[in-house]
Amino acid sequence: MIEFVDPAGFALGLAAAGVLAAHLIRRRARRHVVPFLPLWMATLAQRPGGFGARVARWLDLALVLLACALVALAAGGPRVPGAPDRTRDLVLVLDGDVTLRAGKRRANLTKIAEAEIRRRVRGARFAVIGVADEGATLWTGDDVAGALAAARAHEPGWTDAPRDEAIELARAAAEGMRDPDLVLVTHRRGRVEGMRLRTVFEQVRNAGVAALAVVADPEGGGSVAQLLVRGDGMVSVEGKWTGEVRGTQDVSVPLPDAGEVTLVVTSEGDGFPPDDTAYLTLSAPPRPKVLVLAEGEPSPFLVAALQALESTEAIQGPLDRTTPDHAREAAGRYDLLVFDRCGPPERIPGVRALYVAPPPGALPFRVGDEGDAAALFDVRKDHPLLLGFDFSRVAPLRARAILGGEAVATAAVGPVVAAAPGWVALGFDPDRSLLAASPAYPLFLRNAVEFLAPAAHAERPEFYAIGEPAPQQGLATIADLGTIRVGPRLLGPPGFWRFPDATLAVDFLAKDLDLLPPDERSDPLPGVGEPGVPARPLAPHFAAAAIVLLLLAWWAFWRSP
Amino acid sequence: MIFSAHEIAQLRHLELLAAKVVRGQLSGERAMRKPGPGSGFREHRAYAPGDALRTVDWHAYARMDTLVVKEFDAEEALDLVLLQDCSASMQGEAARCAAKVCAALGAIALRQLDRVLWIPVGGARAAEAFSGRARLTDLLGKVDAEASGPTDLLGAARAALPRAARGGVAFLVSDFFDPLSATAALTFLLGRRYRVHAILVEDREALKPPPFGRVRLVDRETGATRTLDLTEQAVTDYRRAREARIDGLRHFCRRGGAGFLRVRADQPFFEIVRAAIARGWLGR
C-alpha cells in the first residue's frame, strides 16, 4: 500500500507524462541528410515499418511512458505508510482480593502485580477497576503511576460478592474505547496472570466449558457446582448428573458429612481437549464439631444455644455412653466436648471440654463444696470468655468453687468461672440461676467454643493459594488433569461476568492452562505497546527505476551507433 | 585563401614525381629520356653532317682531335590532371580537404613549370588549364569552389580532356560517391595513358549513421528520401556496404596500376602529403 505526500505533484507529473506521451505518439521520423543514399540500400532492403520495427517502436514508447509514469509517481512523493505507535484501549480489572496480598507472599504479589500493570498499560489508554468488597473505578487515564498509587490505596477485601458491579464499572469505562481489551490482573500459583476477557459469542466459539465454579449455596447449606457452558456438546457430571447443558446450568451436589466429592466433567466438541478432564473436588465447610454429654437429657437451653451458633455442629450424646473409651474416642472426633452437669469417668488427656456445673470427679481441676452464691463479683470483663455481655449481674443462687486454672468470675464460695488451656468450667447451672444468666448464656457458649476450639479456625486459612490441595474440611478446589489447577476464587461465582448483550467468560490461554485449545482467531494477550514504523519514502526508488528505464531505452533505441 | 603562408612554404620542398616519361609541349623542368634542347648534359657522340657547329665540343676536339658533339636531355612540361570532386556530397570538411590536396598538387606542378588541367566534378565552375608559376594564385582561387550538384567523374573527364590527350599524371580527389562512373572514369584515364592516383576523401562525421529509431534519409546530391527504422542491424549493414564499396575501388585501382589513398577529411594535410610521399607520388 502506497500513499502520496504531495498529490498535487503527482497530478502535475501525470499531466507532464500525458504531454510527453502525446508528443511521443505524434513523433515522426527524424530527418537525416546523408552524402550518398545508395550506401543504405542494403538497409533499405528491410521493409520500413515491419513487425520487428513496430514492436521496437511500441516497446520504446512503453519504456518511455513507464519511465515518465515513474517520474510522475516520484514527484508525488510516494511512500510506504508506516505504522503508528500501537496503543491499546485497556480496561484493567485489578484483583483487590486479600489473596493478592495474603500471607508471606503479600509483598511479592503486590510488586508483581504492579509490574504487571506497568507492563500491560504501557502505551495504552486504560481504566483500572478495582475489585474488592465493592467494585470501584480506581483510575481512568494513561498515567501509570497514578493508577498504581490508586491500586495501592485500594483496600483489599474479599471478592466474592461484587464482581458484577465491578464489571458494570468496567463496561462503563470501556465505552468510548476502541475494541478494548479486558484484562484481569490476579494471581495464580503465586504469580500474576493477565487473563483476557472477551465475549464468548464473538470470539470464543469453541469455548465449551468456559468456566467451572463452585459457590456456597447460602440457602441449602450445601454447595452448588455451576457450569457455564457454551456450545451444543454434551457435558456430563460423572455419577451425579448427565444431560445436555446449554448456557448456565446449576448442579446441586449433596455433600457428605466428611470426605469429598469428585465431579468429573467432560464435554464433547467444546474447548476441552479430548484427553482432558476437569476435576471438581468439593469438601464440607469446616465447622467445629461439638458433642454434648449429659446424664440423661441435656439441658434444652444448652442445646438450643449451641445450635444457634452457625459455625458449630452440636451433637447430643447420652450419659450412658460416657464411658472412658467412648469419651476418648469422642475427644478425637470432635473439636469440643460439653459436659452438662457431669464429668468424664476418667481424665482424658488432650481433650478440649466445657464443664457446666461439674460434680467432683476426674476433672482437670478441683471442685469445692456447694454453697450459696447470691451474686458474682470480681468479674474479669476483659476476658475472652466474657466478651459481649456482663456476667456481674448474674445471680447463681447455688454454686461450687472451681479450684484451678484462671479465675474469671468469683462468688462467695470462691471462683465459679475458671478457664485454662483445654478447659473452661462453669461452677453453677445456668438453668437454675436467676437474673441475666439466660440471655448471656449463648454468648458465653460462643466465646467458650472460640476459646477452646480455635484450632479448627486456625487450620483453615482464609485464603488458599491456587493449586494448593484443599485439606479436608477446607475449601473446594477444581483441578485440571495434570499440572494445572485453578481455584474457585479465581473463577468464583463472580467468574461469570455478564453484560446485557454478551457473556464474558474467563478465557484461559490454552498454552498456560491447557483448558482451551489454541484458537487461530484468538489473539494473544495484549503485550507491551509496540513502537510505530516510520513511513518509508519511495521517491528515490521510483526515480532510480525511471533512470534505469530511460537508460535501457537509450541503449536499445536511441543511442548513436 | 585555403593555404596559409606556412603551408605554402612547406609545399615548396615537395616535388612531383612522374613515374614515367611523358611528353610535354612546354619546356618544363622535367628531364626527358631523349636528346633535345635542355640544360642537362646527356652524352657525347660523333659529329655527323648536318649537326650544328655550336653543338661541337671544341675542347674535346683539341684533346682527342676528333669532332664530337654534346647532347643534352630535352626538358618537357608535365600534364597534370586534377579531378576535384566538387559535388554536393563533398560539402564541408571533405570539400576543404579535396581543395587543399588539389591546390597542393597544382602548386607543386606549376612551380616546376608543368601544365595543370583542373577539372571540377560537379559545382558551377568549368575546367581550366594552368601553366606557369604566375597562375598559381588563379588555381588556388579555383579549387576553393563551393560544392554542389551530382557526382559524374566520367562525364567531367570526358568533357575536359581532349581526345588527343597525350597522357600525364591524373589525380582523382573525391569521395567516389559516383554510382555510375567512378570506375569508368578511372578506366578512361588509364586508357589515355595517364598515371592515375585515386585519393578517397572520407568525411566520417557526415558518414556517421544517425541515432537509432525511425529516420528519414535524404540524399545530399539528389534530394531523394527514404524512411527506415534504424536498428543496430541496419547500421551494421550500412557499414558493411560502405567498406565493401571502398574495397572494390581499391582492388580496381590495384588491378589497373592506379594508386589509391584513403584519407580522412579532418586529417592534417601534411599527413596526406607524407602518405603520398610514401607511395612515391611526391618527393623533395
Residue A501 lies in a domain: no
Domain count of the fold of chain A: 4
What is residue B246's three-state secondary structure? helix
Residues contacting A329, CB < 8 A, separation 6+: none
* Whether A32 and B210 lie within 8 Å, measured CB to CB: yes
In this structure, are A442 and A484 located in the same domain?
Answer: no
Between chain A and chain B, how many beta carbons pairs sit less than 8 Å apart? 120
**Are the C-beta atoms of A347 and A362 separated by less than 8 Å?**
yes
A473-506 burial by CB neighbour count: b if 16+ within 10 A, else e? bbbbbbbbeeebbbbbbbbbbbbbbeeeeebbbb
Calculate the alpha carbon distances from A379 to A395, A411, A452 in Å. 13, 9, 20
Examine the domain organization and report whether A9 and A73 are in the same domain: yes
pLDDT of A514: 30
Mark which of A202, A228, A261 sits at the end of a domain: A202
A417 and A452 in a common domain: yes
Residue A431 C-alpha from the chain's centroid: 51
The DSSP call for residue B205 is: H
How far is Cα A389 from Cα A444, in angstroms, rounded to an integer?
Answer: 8
Domains, chain B, with CATH or none = 5-14+77-203+261-283 (3.40.50.410), 30-75 (no CATH)
Q: Which range scores top for mean pLDDT: A2-6, A152-156, A553-557, B244-248?
A: B244-248
Chain centre distance of CA B164: 19
Q: Residue A310 domain-assigned?
A: yes
Question: If you search the block for the grid coordinates 476433672, which residue do you land on?
Answer: A363
CATH of the domain at A452: 3.40.50.880
| Domain identity same for A180 and A238 | no
Model confidence band, residue A88 (pLDDT cutoffs 50, 70, 90): low
The nearest CA of chain A is from the CA of B198 a distance in Å of 19
CA distance readout (Å), A318 to A216, A291, A350, A449, A502: 33, 10, 22, 21, 58
For residue A503, being part of any structural domain is answered with no
Mention every residue, 6+ apart, whose C-beta is less than 8 A from residue A269.
Answer: A206, A208, A231, A232, A233
Domain check: are A355 and A382 in the same one? yes
Contact B227 A34 (CB under 8 A): no
Q: Is residue A33 a part of any domain in this protein?
A: no
Reduced to 3 DSSP states, what percent helix, strand and coil does chain A have, rounded to the nearest 5? 35, 30, 35
Tell if the CB–CB gap between B218 and A32 is shorter than 8 Å.
yes
**A390 and A242 belong to one structural domain:** no
Please answer yes or no on whether A41 and B217 come within 8 Å at the CB atom: no
Nearest-by-Cβ selection for A35 from B175, B214, B237? B175
Does residue A370 lie in a domain region? yes
pLDDT at A452 over 50: yes
- The end-to-end CA distance of chain A, in Å, is 42
**Bridge pairing between strands A313-317 and A289-294:** parallel
Lowest mean pLDDT among A12-26, A247-261, A389-403, A527-541: A247-261
Interface contact A46-B210, CB threshold 8 A = no
- Statement to judge: residues A443 and A487 lie in one domain: no
Nearest chain A alpha carbon to B208: A561
A311 and A453 fall within a common domain = yes
Tell me: pLDDT of A160 over 60: no
Say which of A30, A46, A52 has its CB closest to residue B214: A30
Q: How far is A272 from A234, CA to CA, in rounded Å?
A: 12
User: Looking at residues A187-208, what average pLDDT do you find?
Assistant: 30
Q: Find cell 650544328 and name the residue.
A: B52
Question: What's the CA gap between B267 and B274, in Å, rounded?
Answer: 12
Under DSSP, the state recorded for A472 is: T
- A36 contacts on B by Cβ (under 8 Å): 89, 175, 177, 219-221
**Is the ipTM here above 0.85?**
no
Nearest CB among B179, B207, B228 relative to A43 is that of B228
Q: Mutate which of B86, B91, B217 to disrupt the A interface (most A C-beta within 10 Å)?
A: B217
Is A507 inside any structural domain?
A: no
Q: Which of B215, B224, B230 shows the shortest C-beta gap to A37?
A: B224
| DSSP character at residue A410 | E
Whether residue B226 and residue A40 make contact (CB cut-off 8 A), yes or no, is: yes
Nearest chain A CA: its distance from B237 CA (Å): 6
Once rounded to an integer, what is the mean pLDDT over residues A416-440? Answer: 80
User: A264 with A347, same domain?
Assistant: no
Residues A127, A53, single domain; the answer is no
- For cell 474467563, name the residue: A506
Residues A338, A301: contact at Cβ < 8 Å? no
A523 occurs within a structural domain: no
Q: Write down which residue in A202, A219, A252 finishes a domain.
A: A202
Taking contacts as CB-CB distances below 8 angstroms, the residues of chain B near A38 are 177, 179
**Distance between CA atoms of residues B118 and B127, nearest Å:** 6
Given A202, A233, A258, which residue is the final one in a domain? Answer: A202
Give per-residue pLDDT as tens, A234-245: 444 443 444 444
What cell numbers appear for A372 in the block?
A: 450459696
Q: Which domain holds residue A224?
A: 207-285+467-495
Same domain, A295 and A439: yes
Please indicate, yes or no, if residue A54 is contained in any of the structural domains. Answer: yes
Strand bridging mode A414-420 / A536-537: unpaired
Task: Pull the grid cell for residue A421.
Answer: 488451656
Chain B: closest CA distance from residue A22 (Å): 17
Whether residue A67 is found in the same domain as residue A9? yes
- pLDDT, one tens digit per residue, over B243-274 is 888 998 999 999 988 899 999 998 877 778 66
Q: How far apart are CA B107 and CA A378, in angstroms?
A: 165
